[in-house]
Structure 1
Amino acid sequence: MWTKEFQCGGHESALLDCRSSGSTRNTCSPGKAVGLTCSEPVRLVGGDSRCAGTLELKHQGEWRTVSYSDWSLKTAAVVCRELDCGSAVSVRERRESSDRSVLRIRSNCVQSGSAVRDCVTFDYSSKVLDLTCSDSVRLVNGTSLCSGRLEVKSDQSNQSWSSVCEADFDQQDAEVVCRELGCGAPSVLQGALYGEAEAPMWTKEFQCGGHESALLDCRSSGSTRNTCSPGKAVGLTCSEPVRLVGGDSRCAGTLELKHQGQWKPVSYSDWSLKTAAVVCRELDCGSAVSVREREESSDRSVWWIRSNCVQSGSALRDCGMSADFPFILNLTCLGKTSSS
């Protein structure tokens, strides 16, 4: 064991530049060796809050912009967690007038569990990555970014995340949360659906009208609640914001995904009937019958949803990224099957 006490001021560039005590220490209790975790050197700049903006990573003492490459919301969620923001809401590219030296962070490396900093390569690109996380709500322990136990970040000085008691939350409140996170309408609202909450609990009842853009914009009760029965923390599932348009029925047509309030078509890439079956189930449309491409005259902004990501069990929305592409995905499902 190291035998002296370090006495750093905190400004030194290296630990051995710090002063140390004159006396030596000969013993150290078992289990008392220092374990240390440093935060990722990432930030979002130029947005409306510290949870939105252009992604930058500190490299060799300098903040460098991150390029837009193959990032999906699923990858962005890692950065949102690192910044102690809420859920990932949007990922988009921002084009600059010319290429410049940027950092490229490989999405598959981040999703494999590696630290963002460990996934860096160098690149020259005019496409930089803009990211938006929710400021004060998130869904945790869910099967997608649109499901989980609801947590709210208080506006108090401690800025801690709190679970919400089922008795203080209703369908209109759920509509606001799903909208704030860029998800579809609420489909399931049930206590303890995604694990039991640990303290602290949110202490007031939300009283949303359902039209608000953020949960903390809603009115809340004046009285506080100090207890919440076990198993009563809000678990929320929002539906996938997907639809089929332009076909003979709601179960056929061009696949579109809603993003930041706007419906955008999904590009045709490597989709199979197996992948399409996920959409048909989500829309309650039975089995997938056909998948085909429709070519447009020019490239336009579309969603590219990776088939292997969907088949791995991830939600459609979590697998999406923005792209410019002329081939659009047309899908036909069998239609809703009646139960006997």
Structure 2
Amino acid sequence: LLRFINNTVENKGRLEINYKGEWGTICNRGFHHVDAAVACRQLGYCSGRTIPSNMVDNGQGTIWFDNVECSGSEHKLINCSFSLDLTSHCSHSYDVGVHCYLSCPAEEDEGHLRLITGSASNKGRLEINYKGEWGTICAFSFGDDDAAVACKQLGYCSGKRIASYDVDYGNGNIWLVNMHCSGSENRLINCTYSIDISHCQHQYDVGVHCFLSCPAEEDEGHLRLITSSASNKGRLEINYKGEWGTICAHSFHHVDAAVACKQLGYCFGQSIPSNYVDDGNGTIWLVNIHCSGSENKLINCTYSIDTSHCPHQYDVGVHCYLSCPAEEDEGHLRLITGSASNKGRLEINYKGEWGTICALAFIMLMQQ
């Protein structure tokens, strides 16, 4: 006879066997998913898997079996081969734990997905219904290709993964790990994966951001400036996959700002420090943008969508030039004077705007 010693749910816990008239535990050494499946079928479930010993309470008393080996065809665990030699120092910290499946649906009915969302309905923690129960997916090896398959299954055009710390932790089952999709699958469950989640905790739950739209290349990447006092400088935002979001300033340089400003209808521009613009909110879309300067749209430059290490305090700011006069027409000066007309603050007209000149290095030049 077999029984579960469980806490919160009836279908998983420490496995115990009644042998020679006494209940006792089983050592987990050599105990695999095929052995758990035999045990679960004996208990009336359709199948099951092992779970780590540290996920069940330690037993007490007798440890009966070690090195259980089943072929998978047995009706009872006692029909599998096993050893009674427990002199090999097996303790209750190695008691077998099993998770028996509530259902074993046909392949086409397995693997429904859902998003557990916060402020936006198209991004959040990804959960899968596997063997009759909802659970999370471990983020180890989970990439953008996998997220795209998941999002398409959910009815979106595509998507990307987001950092686990950007979603709320799940609870209960962690079902799958080491997902690998080619991108051609129509369901996430058709990708390769492992069910050995022994080294994964809920702090590594998969998060995904599904795209609201996937426009043609020529319609992607509209830009806008979120400005304050001046209409030609501020935080740069891009419309990507149907949503407005910011751009991370890491590796964003003047040549990139110039491309952005030209796309916005200005003649040229420069990047400005992130602390000169208000922090954005919501999605940070792009990072590590590299433009040659010849592009007519910022989206035509190279970039990465892995913005997991970039917070909004590093949002890109740009200052677009109001005009780009010929060299001989550039650089008019004026004095902003007080009591005397021949001394005061020096200002220069540059790129169509009046501004000041920083005294650093200017003083040294004057002293030469």
Q: TM-score with structure 1 length normalisation?
A: 0.33
Bigger fraction of residues in strand? 1
Greater Rg by CA: 2
